[in-house]
Amino acid sequence: MKEIAKEAWNYTFSEQHPGDYILSVVCGGAGLYDFVIRLTSAQIAAYEREGIPYISRLAEEVRYDQTPFNAQKA
Amino acid sequence: MKKNLLHLWLFMLMAAVSFSCSDDDDKTPETIKLEDSWKDGWSSQKVLDIAKGQRPAPSVYLDQKYIDFHLAQFNGGATYLVTKSSLDKYGRDTLGYPDNTQFVMTKAEMDAMLTKTAKDISKIETELGIPAGSWKGQEMVRISISDPKALNVRVPSGNEMGANSLWLPGGHLPTGYSEAVINKIPKGKYTETPL
């Protein structure tokens, strides 16, 4: 597993195998937990286009509402 | 006769004192309810209708008496739960989200909740509204802050990084526990204890 980017108490973005990307997002309030997703091909394409700013935005979306990302749970 | 008059006088004096003490204006209420504390024209839904990042400070829509009452509950200490693996990953020098916020509960309510659940992780998840299974098999840690006032304890605005789609205005979790926000917590300002 290769760590690509990490911001303390925000997210960790890693490449598990070539082309297999994992995003671990810090979520919650008085109880903090990690929500971990595997990026879809569309998200990988967006990352390749925009870089880390896209990952940062994706982490924010995941933190706000995990429901749309349940199918991607790693 | 004199004795009867004295009794009558004493009775009237006691009645007057009793009446004076029952005056509602002089009473300090044991609790100030959120539903009685909205400023004119505001409601929970009106705040929720404003996008995260643009929500006003709670003092815009809540009475100051309510805010003071709510925050006074944190005088006995603030606390939150986190996995040990997160602490190991992100470090212990400074805790809290990068936007200088960290949600906390009152020490008293956390103590009561842990007693109620007997520290059963799945029950704690339910009590705090954490998605089921998020903490399964994890070593849990309780972070305690003895002086949250020193870290600017405040009623959440809903703009904080940790505020999600279930956030409610007024400083309570959907499950009812009181919550507040403090600044990032430097080493030395908190204690870490295994759950």
**pLDDT tens sequence across B110-161:** 999 999 999 999 999 999 999 999 999 999 999 999 999 999 999 999 999 9
Residues with pLDDT less than 50, chain B: 1, 13-27
pLDDT at A72 over 60: yes
Q: Which residues of A touch B177 (CB under 8 A)?
A: 30
Instruction: Decide if pLDDT at A30 tops 90.
Output: yes
Q: Angle, to 10 degrees, between the axis of helix B121-128 and the axis of helix B107-117?
A: 130
Q: Judge: B164–A8 Cβ closer than 8 Å, yes or no.
A: no
Write phi, then psi, for A66 (nearest 5 degrees): -80, -15
In which band, very low, low, confident or very high, does the pLDDT at A23 lie, cut at 50, 70 and 90? Answer: very high
Q: Residue B41 in contact with residue B73, Cβ under 8 Å?
A: no
* Candidate from A7, A12, A64 with C-beta closest to B164: A64
Nearest residue on chain A to B136, judged by CA atoms? A33
Query: Which pLDDT score, from 0 to 100, does residue B94 have?
Result: 98
Rounded CA gap, B18 and B24, in Å?
A: 12
- Closest to B59 measured CA to CA, from B88, B39, B41, B75: B39
User: Residue A16 above 50 pLDDT?
Assistant: yes
Whole-number pLDDT of residue B7: 58
- Return the CA Rg of chain B: 23
Which pLDDT value is given to residue B134? 96
Q: What is the maximum span of chain B, computed from C-alpha positions, in angstroms?
A: 87
Are the Cβ atoms of A30 and B80 closer than 8 angstroms?
Answer: yes
What amino acid occupies position B183?
A: N
pTM for this structure?
0.88
Q: Is residue B162 a contact partner of residue B71, using CB atoms and an 8 Å limit?
A: no
Q: What local confidence, expressed as pLDDT, does residue B112 receive?
A: 98
Residue B160 is predicted with a pLDDT of: 98
A74 pLDDT above the threshold of 70: yes
Could you give the percent of chain A with pLDDT greater than 90?
A: 99
φ, ψ at A53 (rounded to 5°): -55, -35
Dihedral angle computed from the Cα positions of residues B161, B166, B171 and B174, in that order, rounded to the nearest 10 degrees: -150
